[in-house]
Chain A
Amino acid sequence: MKILVVDDSAVQRKIIIQIIRQAGFNNDVLEAQDGRDAIQKLGLNFKDVGLVLCDWNMPNLSGIEFIEGVAKVPQVAAIPLIMVTTEGTENKIEEAYSKHPRLAGYIIKPFTAEQLKSKIEPFLK
C-alpha cells in the first residue's frame, strides 16, 4: 500500500516521510507538490494508494480544491485522506469536512512526530 504526501514544501514532505519511516513503516511514498500534481499521482495510482496526507495552502490547485474534487469521485472518495495544514481555525476545519465528508483526520501544523504518527498509524496497519 502506497502513501501519497501532498505539500508544496519539499522540507515538509521530507519531515513527514522521516516520521513515517521512524514509526517503522516502509510503504512506498508518492510525493505531490500541489493539487494538480496530486490529481495525477492519485489518478494513476489509485488502486495502490491507501492513505493521502494533504496540505491546504499550495500554488496552482489548493488542498481544499483537491479534496473537494476527490470526494466527488467514487473510485477515490473512500481512500483515507488526512489534512495536514497550518489552517487550523474552526471554520477552516468545518469547511474541509464539508467538502470531503469522509475525511479521515485533520492535523494542524505545527505538529509533533508523535501527533502525526498516532493519526496515521491506524491506516497503515
Chain B
Amino acid sequence: METKEIFIQSLKNAVMEVFSTTLSLIPEIKEKEFVFDGEQKEVVLSCIGLAGGIEGTLNLIFSRDSACNMVSRLLNSEQVELNQDVLDGTGEMANIFAGCFKRHLESAKFNFELSIPSVIHGMDSLHIVKLTKTEQISLYISCHYFDLFLVLVIPSEVQGRIRPEEQKRSDQSKDVSKILGDLTKEK
C-alpha cells in the first residue's frame, strides 16, 4: 500500500474507534477537501503537532454547533455555548484522535511524538493554507449529532519518497552529510 493510503486508512480506523468508544456513534467518513462554508459564523479548530517520524499537524475543525453537540455527547450534558468545556473538549478530542492514529500506524513502523493541543476559535471564515512542500489529507466526518473536518498536514515527501524505516533523524543527517560531502568534494 502507498504511504498516503496507509495514512488515510489509519485515520479512518482511528475515527471509527474514537467515535464508537467515546461517543457510541458510527460516523460516515468521506475524503473531501476542507471548506468552511460560512453557513455558521463561528469556527473552532483544535490542533496537535506531530514530530519525529512524521512531522506535521492533525487538525479538527468544527462549527460552533458541532463543537457544542460533540461535547454535550461526551459529557452527557447539553452545552449551548462555546464555553471553556466545549473548547477544552475539542482539544482533548484532537489529542485522542492523534494518539489513536499513532497507534494505528504503529504496525507500519511510523513512530512520532505528540504535542499538547492548541485550540483556535474564530469567526466568519477559515482556510488551512497549503504551504510549499506540504500535503493535506482531509476527511469529512459526520454523524446524526454533528460534523467536522479532520485535516492532516504533512510534508509532501512523507507520502512519496520516505519509507517508514528510513525516517530516523540520524539517517536524515547522514543523508545531509553525504549530499554535502559529495557537493563539496574537490574535483
Contact = CB atoms under 8 A, between A and B. Distances in A.
Interface in A64-101: 85-91
Given A10-B85, A86-B95, A110-B17, A59 B75 contact: no
B77 to A, nearest CB: 9
Interface residues of A, number: 23
Given A14-B75, A18-B76, A110-B18, A9 B88 contact: yes
A89 B111 contact: yes
Contacts of A9: 88-89, 91-92, 95
A23 to B, nearest CB: 15
Contact of A86 (B71, B84, B111, B114): B114
Contact of B74 (A15, A85, A91): A15
Nearest to B101: A86
Nearest to A62: B116
B106 A110 contact: no
B21 A10 contact: no
A14 B71 CA distance: 11
Nearest to A109: B96
Interface residues of B, number: 26
Nearest to A112: B21
B156 interface: no
Nearest to B92: A9
A11 interface: yes
Q: Is the interface of A mostly helix, strand, loop or mixed?
A: loop
B115 to A, nearest CB: 8
A114 to B, nearest CB: 10
B99 A109 contact: yes
Interface of B: 17-18, 21-22, 71, 74-76, 84-85, 88-89, 91-92, 95-96, 98-100, 102-103, 106, 111, 114-116
The 7 closest A-B pairs by CB, nearest first: A86-B99, A9-B92, A110-B21, A11-B89, A110-B22, A88-B103, A89-B106
25 contacts: A9-B92, A9-B95, A11-B85, A11-B88, A12-B92, A14-B85, A15-B74, A59-B116, A86-B95, A86-B102, A87-B99, A88-B103, A89-B103, A89-B106, A108-B103, A109-B22, A109-B96, A109-B99, A109-B100, A110-B17, A110-B18, A110-B22, A110-B100, A111-B22, A112-B21
